[in-house]
């Protein structure tokens, strides 16, 4: 289970890094396009939401596969 927690923390860290990068470039975009600031930030938030949604699916699948091999791999 220690291995599982390591990979979960690693995936969470990667997800946070991706979120920070998307937010940073979204912020740069809004500084260049002040008229549509709200629309752009909404788009960035939706992109981040989809990333975390699929990230969550990946973590869930990883946990299920890990448990399958942990239970039936003996």
2-39 residue pLDDT tens: 566 777 778 778 877 887 777 777 666 655 556 666 66
Structural domain boundaries enclosing 12: 2-72
Per-residue pLDDT, averaged over 39-56, amounts to: 76
Residue 56 zone, left/alpha/beta (φ > 0; ψ -120 to 50; rest): alpha
Q: Where are the alpha helices (DSSP H) in the chain?
A: 2-32, 37-72
In residues, how long is the chain? Answer: 74
DSSP 8-state class, residue 34: -
- Considering its fold, how many domains does the chain have in total? 1
What pLDDT, on the 0 to 100 scale, is given for residue 37? 60
Query: How many other CB atoms are found less than 10 A from the CB of residue 3?
Result: 9
């Amino acid at each position: 289970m220690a291995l599982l927690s390591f990979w979960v923390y690693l995936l969470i860290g990667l997800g946070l890094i991706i979120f920070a990068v998307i937010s940073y470039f979204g912020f740069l975009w809004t500084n260049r396009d002040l008229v549509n600031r709200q629309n752009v930030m909404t788009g960035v938030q939706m992109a981040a939401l989809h990333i975390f949604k699929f990230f969550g699916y990946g973590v869930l699948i990883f946990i299920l596969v890990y448990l399958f091999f942990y239970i039936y791999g003996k």
